[in-house]
Amino acid sequence: MIKTVFLPTPLGLAGVLILGILCLATVLVWGLSKTALPVNWNELRQRVRSWWFMAVFFFLAVTVNPVITIVFFALMSFWVLKEYITILHTRRADHRALVWAFLAIPIQYYWVASHWYIMFLIFIPIYMFLFIPFRLVLCEEIEGFLSSSARIQWGIMIFVFGLSHMAYLSVMPKIHGTLASGQSLLLFLVIVTEMNDVFQYIWGRTLGHHKILPKVSPNKTSEGFWYGILTTTVFSVLLRFLTPFDFFGTMFFAFCIAVAGFFGDVVMSAVKRDAGIKDFSNIIPGHGGALDRVDSLCYTAPLFFHMVAYFYY
């Protein structure tokens, strides 16, 4: 375990890079807070402190042991599905269907742990998709049936099925002729996704003028979107050692992740606007809820997984 994480392997180098980014962010925020700029830096300081905890915890969870990794992502799916369900206006008739929605989580991650690829792919999109509406029908409450069925199905598709792709990626074997493995590709995915969020936030706050979707996400700007994608694509070259990609392949995959991350971010913003809330919860200081932090990954994880599976597995 110590050899895997701390010696100069792709995972060890990734740990050093993450540590360096966190230290740099801490120093920059400290320096900015000492300037005379009329800006309240409390939120940014909270964000950086939370990033320290999340980054260290996540890195250990995905590198120490495969079982721990799968359990970690299963708990993540449970928590974000809970945050999503909490904001819905559910009917009494929905409660038993919701129990089955949560029971789908350990079943889905069992397919991951057992490497049962076909069941991993079809269990939620087919079996749960067909079963949830039938379970709602058994309650014989017709009013609101279509809305409840759609919301529950969408929730387990994106928060259980979508996020479970990260767990399955983590147990994928090494790619022949390279040092890249499922674990290193997972780190590439998560680092690129999160850095894209950071870059779009920074560029949007500093240079953003043209709102891109003002009714959905008022803080998103065209400048933040394009400069964020460009910066993420260039930054990804530093992470090439985690992948089997060549120079241009690395930037191509990062570009796809950046665009998909934006899609996930604004879709979850639309969910929050529809529910009339700012954040899904306040569990993470400076960030909101767990779902606020993994919203982009709900889109980038399945996209990246299937691209890598197609080209390299």
Judge whether 118 lies within some domain. Answer: yes
Q: pLDDT grade, residue 151 (50/70/90)?
A: very high
C-alpha pair distances (Å), 14 with each of 7, 94, 206: 11, 44, 28
Residue 138 domain boundaries: 65-171
| pLDDT for the residue numbered 165 | 97
Q: Is residue 78 part of a domain?
A: yes
Q: Which secondary structure element, helix H or strand E, spans residue 212, and what is its range?
A: none
- The SS3 of residue 123 is helix
Q: Is 143 helix (H, G, I), strand (E, B) or coil?
A: coil
Could you report how far apart the first and last alpha carbons of the chain are, in Å?
A: 25
pLDDT tens, position by position, 44-70 = 677 788 888 888 889 989 888 899 999
Residue reference for tokens 């460009």: 230
Is the residue at 140 inside a domain?
yes
pLDDT at 91: 87
90 in a structural domain: yes
Looking at the predicted structure, is the pLDDT value of residue 3 above 50?
A: no
Closest CA to 66 of 156, 196, 167, 191: 167
Inter-CA distances, 209 with 206, 214, 225, 237, Å: 9, 11, 11, 29
Residue 39 lies in a domain: no
Give me the mean pLDDT over the 186-204 stretch: 90
CA distance 309 to 77: 22
In a domain, 132, yes or no: yes
Is residue 58 one of the residues assigned to a domain? Answer: no
Q: How many helices (H) and strands (E) does the chain have?
A: 14, 0
Stretch 196-219: mean pLDDT, rounded? Answer: 84
The count of structural domains within the chain is: 1
pLDDT at residue 286, rounded to an integer: 67
pLDDT of residue 8: 62
What's the token pair of residue 23? 């230290």
Provide the angle, in degrees to the nearest 10, between the axes of the packed helices 95-113 and 129-137.
Answer: 160
Q: Which of these, 104, 113, 107, 194, lies nearest to 157 by C-alpha position?
A: 104
- Is the residue at 236 inside a domain? no
Q: How confident is the model at residue 38, as a pLDDT?
A: 55
The answer for residues whose C-beta is within 8 angstroms of residue 308's C-beta and 6 or more apart is: 169, 172, 185, 253
The mean per-residue pLDDT over the stretch 6-32 comes to 80
> Over the stretch 240-296, which tens digit does the pLDDT of each residue have?
999 999 999 999 999 999 999 999 999 999 998 988 888 888 887 767 788 888 999
pLDDT tier for residue 228 given thresholds of 50, 70 and 90: very high
Give the position of tokens 């379970």: 135
CB 205 within 8 A of CB 37: no
